[in-house]
Amino acid sequence: MSPWIRFVARLAVAGALLYTIATWIVSPAELLAGAASADPYWLLLAAMMTPVGLLLQWWKWRRLVQASLPEIGEADILLSLFTGFGLGLLTPGRLGELGRGAHWPGARARATALAAADRLVSSLVTLAAGAAWAVYCMPISWGVWCGLAMIGIGVSWRQFGSRLAAQLALRWDMTCLTDIPRNVWMSNTLAALLFNVVFCLQMFCLLRATGAIALWALFAIPAMFALKTLLPISFMDLGVREAAGVVVLGGVGVAATTAVQASLMLFGLNVLLPGVAGLLVLSIGRQTTHFSSPSQRIELVHVR
């Protein structure tokens, strides 16, 4: 299937889901009224967690790059992270985040493999946390969760798996993964776990800002993120994230309006804002020059 066709299909899915939510679950007027009455204290607390999450993403990405590409400078590592955010904002399923090393001549394939591994670890941690909550709190639904997992894995493999495996075998230098020390993988996994904790706390603050909810709802949030991860069928997860919030959080007493509103705010804080910053980095990157020699440190030199 053509990338453009997949892009249009995902955009259509996002539009259809958001339209269904706005028509049958919560109206835009209700969302605006809820946003106007949101508690600024909880909103500020949620906003303060965004840089914490970005710091964790930078740290685990930095650890991988330094272990595999020690010639890459600190500034380039930071810029590459935001480059991925910008590309992710423009691509279906935020797959553009795999292009973090787009400005690294001679190291793009290795950087893509590292970015894919980094994203895979984060996704596995998210799925594990969501599955743990589902098994502990809703044991009778294990069959439904297994079915959703199989569907998600099957769809993902059909769309990306075979081509990804071929590209890995023919193009990527996989030694960048096998040569990375075990302690680096462990620290990456720990950072991914901490990032998920911050993400859940941020979602709880946004829920709390728009309505009174029980503390128990905090432990259901990982299941919401896991369900979203299993269904990468819309553009930037729009519609899927909100629908997952309504389904999962509704089971622990959270109002649909509160779930949808908090999900949209979370998208703005953690996807839209970093993505816009990444687009600015990309626009600046067009005015930069790189040293192409692999023996030299890759640096960004601004053209004046």
Q: Give buried/exposed letters for 55-92 (b at 16+ CB in 10 A, else e).
A: ebbbebbbbbbebbbebbeeebbebbbbbbbbbbbbbb
Position 302 scores a pLDDT of 36
Tell me, what's the pLDDT at 150?
59
Burial class (CB in 10 A: 0-12, 13-18, 19+), 5: exposed
Give yes or no for residue 174 having a pLDDT over 60. Answer: no
* C-alpha span between 176 and 20 (Å, rounded): 44
Across the range 114-135, mean pLDDT stands at 86
Residue 32 pLDDT > 80, yes or no?
yes
Q: Give the pLDDT score at 109.
A: 83
Confidence label for 179 from pLDDT (cuts 50, 70 and 90): confident
Alpha-carbon gap, residue 248 to 224, rounded angstroms: 6
**Residue 261: pLDDT above 90?**
yes
- For residue 57, the model assigns a pLDDT of 96
Which residue range is the domain that position 288 belongs to? 3-302
Share of the chain above pLDDT 90, in %: 32
Q: What's the number of domains the chain is made of? A: 1
What span, in angstroms and rounded, lies between the C-alpha atoms of 14 and 206? 22
What integer pLDDT is reported at residue 165 of this predicted model?
Answer: 47
Using pLDDT thresholds of 50, 70 and 90, give the confidence band for residue 47. Answer: very high
- Give the CA angle between residues 177, 119, 175 to the nearest 5°: 10
Mean confidence (pLDDT) of the chain: 80
pLDDT of residue 104: 87
pLDDT of residue 64: 93
Q: Which tokens belong to 223?
A: 């299941």
pTM of the predicted protein model: 0.80
Please tell me the predicted confidence (pLDDT) of residue 39: 93
Write the pLDDT tens digit of every residue in 49-102.
999 999 999 999 999 999 989 999 999 999 999 999 988 887 666 777 888 887
Structure tokens at 186: 């462990």
Structure tokens, 83? 């480059």
Least confident range from 131-145, 194-208, 211-225, 255-269: namely 131-145
State mean pLDDT over 166-180: 58
Give the total residue count for the chain.
304
